[in-house]
Amino acid sequence: MYKVMALDIGTKRIGVALSDYLLVLASGFTCIQREPQDKAIEEIQKIAKENNVKKIVAGIPFNMDGTEGAQAQDCRDFASKIQGYEIIFEDERLTSSQAEENLRNKKIDFKKNKSLVDIESACIILEQYLNRKQ
């Protein structure tokens, strides 16, 4: 039995979510600073190892027309540096606005803590992946 991790890779922060062992539920886990990059990669690998993760789902910010821009390539480049795990890419279009809406509905003020949006976005990315796999 293993878990799946999802990453919302931003330019400043990386939201992290983990599945349960049944691969049904997604839970927010933490937010990691993106720089320095080697430290961020090390932290992701540490979390993955400690939580028996086998697969990592990385959100890719496709353009609305389905093409990939510079930010999508940046996410692919970052994810390629994570060693020892199967990396799966998931379309993350509109997850940030959906995450903000989810937090507003839960009456959580995220204006002063943007990492909450990153963590919630990682949850949405993971939920999309898990739902597709069901």
Rounded Cα distance between 54 and 6, Å, is: 11
**Fold topology of 3-133:** Nucleotidyltransferase; domain 5 (3.30.420)
Residue 94 pLDDT exceeds 90: no
Identify the band that residue 133 occupies on the pLDDT scale cut at 50, 70 and 90. confident
Rounded Cα distance between 9 and 32, Å, is: 9
Phi-psi region of 52 (alpha: psi -120 to 50; beta: other; left: phi over 0): left
| 18 strand-pairing partners | 5, 27
Domains of the chain, residue spans:
3-133
- pLDDT tens profile 30-43: 999 999 999 999 99
Pick from 13-17, 62-66, 91-95 the range whose average pLDDT is largest: 13-17
Rounded Cα distance between 21 and 124, Å, is: 17
